[in-house]
Amino acid sequence: MNCEDPKYIAESEKKFKNAKTIKEFLDLWSKFYINEICIPTYLDVFVGGEDNEQATYEIGRKFQQIVKSGVIPHDFQVNDPTSQKAYVSAFGPSDLISYLTEYINRYPGFVAFYQDIESKDYPRGLYVTYDPDEAQSAGSRRMGVFMGDAFTDVGNPREEAFDFIDEWLSKPVRKVLNKNNYNHLAVVDTQPNAKPDRILDVIINALNDNPRLVNRYL
């Protein structure tokens, strides 16, 4: 699978456009995390891709659980104590996203929030990734402060990412998966020395604790 190859991209797009239900769509999206399909928001494979060297099939299987429960991640990074905090940005049904936000914020060390996908009034400056600066002061290093240029602002609801997804939807799926019914969720693990995929375990716990709500959207 080469998700930079137009051939594989076209084949994947066709499969998504042939999905007639949201469950079929989610099942297809989940295959991205085991390198079996391409998605419109990430032109590379998940495991072994250049932008996510930490990704493994074990992490991929956790993402599959999340996707098959109705949540569609479009961006993700694991912890790196030198340059980034773990985060997940995702789209999902409004009620489900609201529930996840409240649940995840009960955990120490996590920050979760959600917003309308088309929102122009969103929190700014919520940076989670930094370009490492070798010249940072010893005091900053002792305090665990990230130095260097900041990038990856997770406050942005990433409407353009949703638009990329929309281009690959069939008409029946678009009736369910649209900006009126879905919100954007951002989850940040603020403890950079934590287990890399701890953020996924917390999301999965939240989904498993409310199967009735999850099943409502499948």
* Token representation of residue 79: 């912890």
Rounded CA separation 107/102 (Å): 10
- Side chain identity at residue 169, one-letter code: L
- Residue pLDDT tens, the chain, 218 long: 788 888 999 999 999 999 999 999 999 999 999 999 999 988 888 888 776 777 889 999 999 999 999 999 988 887 776 677 888 999 999 999 999 999 999 999 999 999 998 877 767 767 777 776 555 545 455 555 666 677 677 777 678 999 999 999 999 999 999 999 999 999 999 887 777 789 999 999 999 999 999 999 88
- pLDDT value for 144: 58
In a domain, 21, yes or no: yes
Residues 6+ apart with CB under 8 A from 45: 1, 2, 3, 35
Compute the C-alpha angle 60/63/67, nearest 5°. Answer: 135
The answer to whether residue 13 is domain-embedded is: yes
Q: Which domain holds residue 107?
A: 6-216
Look at residue 79 and tell me if it is in a domain.
Answer: yes
58 domain residue, yes or no = yes
How many structural domains compose the chain? 1
In a domain, 1, yes or no: no
Is residue 113 situated within a structural domain? Answer: yes
What pLDDT was estimated at residue 147?
62
Helix 22-30 × helix 6-17 angle, to 10°: 150
Enter the pTM of the model: 0.88
Distance, first Cα to last Cα, the chain: 28
- pLDDT reported for residue 195: 79
Q: pLDDT value at position 86?
A: 85
Q: Side by side, which strands form the sheet with 86-93?
A: 72-77, 86-93, 182-189, 110-116
Under DSSP, is residue 102 helix (H, G, I), strand (E, B) or coil? helix
Measured between alpha carbons, how far is residue 95 from residues 6, 99, 101, 150 in Å? 36, 6, 10, 32
Q: Return the pLDDT at 155.
A: 72
Q: Residue 24 contacts by C-beta under 8 Å, 6 or more apart in sequence?
A: 173
